[in-house]
Structure 1
Amino acid sequence: MSEPSTATGTPQELQRRLGVFDAVVIGLGSMIGAGIFAALAPAAHAAGSGLLLGLGLAAVVAYCNATSSARLAARYPESGGTYVYGRERLGDFWGYLAGWAFVVGKTASCAAMALTVGSYVWPGQANAVAVAAVVALTAVNYAGVQKSAWLTRVIVAVVLAVLTAVTVAALTSGTTDAAQLDVGSDATPGGVLQAAGLLFFAFAGYARIATLGEEVRDPARTIPRAIPLALGITLIVYAVVAMTVLAVLGPERLAVASAPLSDAVHTAGVGWLTPVVRVGAAVAALGSLLALILGISRTTLAMARDRHLPHGLAAVHPKFKVPHRAELVVGTVVALLAATTDVRGAIGFSSFGVLAYYAIANASAFTLTPEEGRPARIIPVIGLVGCLVLSFALPLTSVISGGAVLAVGVAAYAVRRTLVSRRQP
């Protein structure tokens, strides 16, 4: 296993400051903001009333991925997540491919979340607000992971309060129609699979917990506890909110809604909640963006340590004990994307990359021995097959663009290996 180092070759370690509660909150901050405010409408467009079936399928795959990731994170408690697991269990190439898929896919997620903030805060200047959000949260992460954890606590509390208010108001308004929850009446198998692939985007936040492996106290116990807890809480929240919005709007109106929760409270006759929903959406997206930047910078750190990325990015700040160069580079790239791109299509592209990442995680977990904490064999098998099926059930443009980006990564790896081999005597 590669030893953590700075650009000068001096070993440096990140500090273990996070307990179970902080790790769970970081996972919640990653998942809840992305899912509720970004993925419900496109999933309903794909599956109609089969949205809830897609949600359940996505949750099954996410559970398998979470279990595999938790066992691997306990075995390899260092920054990098599946980049490290694939490298150690399957070989250097598979670790690299996982890291590449994660960094690229989640960079797209960052841009999408930043633009979500902009569209809710100031629709006419969404790109400018998005860039400002990226700069501000990069500065928070730079100041130390403990400050990030405290801010995420506040964000999660606000978002859960808003979602609770929306759900209670809608369900007590008398405008809900249980007949609109006739699950699957207008759905096709392909539509349900595509919805599951899109909704998987909303469950991927537990990866942040694993990628913070070097900053968690007692990782062998903390990570396996935190990941399923965060996933379970998120699934309950998603299911309740999705059923509420479906009951109010119905699958057809939900499929075309640009702001599903705002439309739901307006239809329910509680329009006074609309500004609250807008604030909640912006805060939720900020929470996702904060945790996403945190996770991508740690994977970048791990890849830089092994020289798959410029080795200077492996430096750890002597005061704040964070990978400061990696965080600045990630923040700069995300800010550029937020300034120049559109949120449309980002979810599908991100889902393709993250599903590839977790396919490698499940394959890695399959190689664990019972002494190493291997999960039941069926779990990584279902996770691996599920990731592959959902990735190719995504919209064709997402499959093509995601596959092309992975191919670029493979080509870069091949070029690097060729250059290294030529330098050796």
Structure 2
Amino acid sequence: MHVPGTVPPPAPAPAGDPGRHSRRFGLPVATALVMGNIIGGGIFLLPASVAPFGTVSLLAFGVLTVGAIALALVFGRLAARDPRTGGPYVYAREAFGDFAGFLAAWAYWITTWVSNAALAVAAVGYLDVLIPVNDHRWTACLAALVLQWLPALSNFAGTRYVGAVQVVSTVLKFAPLLLVAVGGLFFFDAGNLGPFNASGGGAIGAVSASAAILLFSYLGVESAAVSAGEVKDPRRTVGRATVIGTAGAALVYLLGTLSVFGTVAHDRLVHSSAPFSDAVNAMFGGSWGGWAVALAALVSMTGCLNGWTLLSAQTPYAAARDGLFPAAFARKRRGVPTVGVGVTVVLASLLTVYNYTSGSAKVFEILVLVTTFTATVPYLLATAAQLFHLLSGRAERVDRARLVRDAVVASVAAAFSLWLVAGAGYAAVYQGVLFLFAGVLVYAVMAGRRGHRARSATGAPPFPVDRAGV
């Protein structure tokens, strides 16, 4: 049993030689993993998703960027203190014990495979620009499933190929993003922006609601921390990759969203399924630009799915090594927890099928809001762990100024996480809580089995003995 507030000894590495298909990530690949997972499918569809709120969503983007960078700094500090694979799970368990660690792992795992389903749905919108697949929902569903399984096959091939795909897809995705983000400023028309607050409600509520959707575009800030065990010199590299990747993604996001708002008419953007393609078509005319952007967006989203599929298996892997997830999740082959990858892609596929068969026209938004809530659980636990270390004196301190700075950053990240829970909406919180409560039952089973094995190993009776004989 782990004692909160102490650093547990690393679990023994699983048997088996990862072989030549496994390779540790350096700073470029770790940064590409962060940027590739942050700049995935979200940015290519979210301008249309937040357009109904009006340009107030740009303000939400700015506030969100501050919170995301605060989270990046917190993860960097925590990874320097404990550079093991697992990210928020490791930090929460080390500070608060097994149950908090399990909740972080469970919620993050839910976030990853639900995000994969959402990314696949977003990718189908751009595939439709190239090949009409949205004419029938079953065709669209099949396309979304194919887009999920191809990255899973890359993961099964080993971390060497995961890293290669991530670097290539990250480089390729910047072409259309920079084209719109920079080029769109020369075609900017303020008349396309539409109303400041198109939702009709209060401005603060609109900012919170749009930020809840926009959070999806920043999921992945913890990527390097979650995969710290696969990173070279993680105490130094994870923090640098996290901050560089998040800041770079934020710059591209803000410029790209502003350019789309200024080049595509508001009433058209609200109903767009490929806003970046529409922006390029509006800039240059014709359809060739939109076709090229759609192709690049597909590459980007596939690369993002590639990275998220790896992350979806890393946290359960770390929890399984500590006995908090089924032992099968701790199996690795070629540096990849293959059971975790397999279970994740199956669950994401089932969720994709369910959402398409439900007939909802807002599949992407529904999935995004669920991940918004579940992502805040490990984020909040990680920032709480950082505050715990700072206030208890367990964190490494250089001087009082640095301590104050770290405390302020952690407080901003914690407040940011709580704000996002409020902005996710009742429906998302309701569905997310159901997912979390299901995890409590899983924890009860795993904890009970661990307790039984511990008693069997020590020869203790399964039930307490009443020494009075009653």
Report if aligned partners of 2:79, 2:225 keep a CA contact under 8 Å in 1.
Answer: yes
1:293 alignment counterpart: 309
Give yes or no for the alignment of 1:91 onto 2:97.
Answer: yes
Residue among 135, 153, 166 paired with 1:139: 153
Report if aligned partners of 2:181, 2:252 keep a CA contact under 8 Å in 1.
Answer: no
Matches within 5 A, 1:345-424: 345-368=366-389, 369-371=394-396, 376-418=406-448, 420-421=450-451, 424=455
Q: For structure 1, list consecutive stretches of 5 or more residues without a partner in the other structure.
A: none
Report if aligned partners of 1:66, 1:206 keep a CA contact under 8 Å in 2.
Answer: yes
1:310 alignment counterpart: 326
Question: Which stretch of the first structure deviates more once superposed, 321-330 or 220-229?
Answer: 321-330
* CA separation of 1:55 and 1:248: change in aligned 2, threshold 3 A: same
Shift of 1:131: 1.9
Q: For structure 2, list consecutive stretches of 5 or more residues without a partner in the other structure.
A: 1-7, 357-362, 456-460, 462-470
After superposition, give the CA deviation of every residue in 1:29-67 in whole Å (9 maximum; x if it has no partner).
Answer: 11112331132222232x311111110111111112111
Give yes or no for the alignment of 1:20 onto 2:27.
Answer: yes
Aligned-CA RMSD value: 2.6
Report if aligned partners of 2:70, 2:409 keep a CA contact under 8 Å in 1.
Answer: yes
1:210 alignment counterpart: 225
Residue among 230, 237, 244 paired with 1:222: 237
2:162 alignment counterpart: 148
2:125 alignment counterpart: 119
* CA separation of 1:134 and 1:35: change in aligned 2, threshold 3 A: closer
Letter in 2 for 1:150: A
Question: Which stretch of the first structure deviates more once superposed, 207-216 or 305-314?
Answer: 305-314
Taking the aligned partners of 2:121 and 2:193, their CA distance within structure 1 comes to 31
Report if aligned partners of 2:23, 2:160 keep a CA contact under 8 Å in 1.
Answer: no
2:347 alignment counterpart: 333
Paired residues in the alignment total: 419
Taking the aligned partners of 2:269 and 2:385, their CA distance within structure 1 comes to 38
Taking the aligned partners of 1:253 and 1:215, their CA distance within structure 2 comes to 44
Question: Which stretch of the first structure deviates more once superposed, 121-130 or 17-26?
Answer: 121-130
After superposition, give the CA deviation of every residue in 1:307-327 in whole Å (9 maximum; x if it has no partner).
Answer: 22210221222xx23222222
Letter in 2 for 1:203: Y
1:128 alignment counterpart: 142
* CA separation of 1:418 and 1:311: change in aligned 2, threshold 3 A: closer
* CA separation of 1:360 and 1:250: change in aligned 2, threshold 3 A: farther
* CA separation of 1:420 and 1:25: change in aligned 2, threshold 3 A: closer
SS in 2 for 1:205: coil
* CA separation of 1:82 and 1:341: change in aligned 2, threshold 3 A: same
2:76 alignment counterpart: 70
Question: Which stretch of the first structure deviates more once superposed, 389-398 or 85-94?
Answer: 389-398
Report if aligned partners of 1:148, 1:290 keep a CA contact under 8 Å in 2.
Answer: yes
Taking the aligned partners of 2:145 and 2:294, their CA distance within structure 1 comes to 19
* CA separation of 1:214 and 1:372: change in aligned 2, threshold 3 A: farther
Shift of 1:12: 7.9
Taking the aligned partners of 1:404 and 1:79, their CA distance within structure 2 comes to 27
Taking the aligned partners of 2:214 and 2:440, their CA distance within structure 1 comes to 27
Shift of 1:228: 0.6
Residue among 249, 254, 261 paired with 2:269: 254
Question: Which stretch of the first structure deviates more once superposed, 57-66 or 160-169?
Answer: 160-169
Residue among 41, 45, 49 paired with 1:38: 45
After superposition, give the CA deviation of every residue in 1:112-158 in whole Å (9 maximum; x if it has no partner).
Answer: 11222333224242222222222221121122212211111111121
Report if aligned partners of 2:313, 2:340 keep a CA contact under 8 Å in 1.
Answer: yes
Question: Which stretch of the first structure deviates more once superposed, 264-273 or 148-157?
Answer: 264-273
2:465 alignment counterpart: none
Taking the aligned partners of 1:5 and 1:212, their CA distance within structure 2 comes to 17
* CA separation of 1:149 and 1:189: change in aligned 2, threshold 3 A: same
Matches within 5 A, 1:266-281: 266-271=281-286, 272-281=288-297
* CA separation of 1:12 and 1:189: change in aligned 2, threshold 3 A: farther
Shift of 1:212: 0.8
TM-score (norm 2): 0.82
Letter in 2 for 1:230: G
After superposition, give the CA deviation of every residue in 1:167-217 in whole Å (9 maximum; x if it has no partner).
Answer: 4553334x6227838866976101101111211111121222111111111
Report if aligned partners of 1:83, 1:96 keep a CA contact under 8 Å in 2.
Answer: yes
Shift of 1:99: 0.6
Question: Which stretch of the first structure deviates more once superposed, 402-411 or 415-424?
Answer: 415-424
Shift of 1:399: 1.6
SS in 1 for 2:406: coil
Question: Which stretch of the first structure deviates more once superposed, 339-348 or 281-290?
Answer: 339-348
SS in 2 for 1:155: helix
Taking the aligned partners of 1:165 and 1:30, their CA distance within structure 2 comes to 20
Report if aligned partners of 2:192, 2:264 keep a CA contact under 8 Å in 1.
Answer: no
Letter in 2 for 1:292: W
Letter in 1 for 2:150: A
Shift of 1:407: 1.9
Taking the aligned partners of 1:211 and 1:110, their CA distance within structure 2 comes to 17
Letter in 2 for 1:293: T
1:201 alignment counterpart: 216
Residue among 231, 238, 258 paired with 2:253: 238
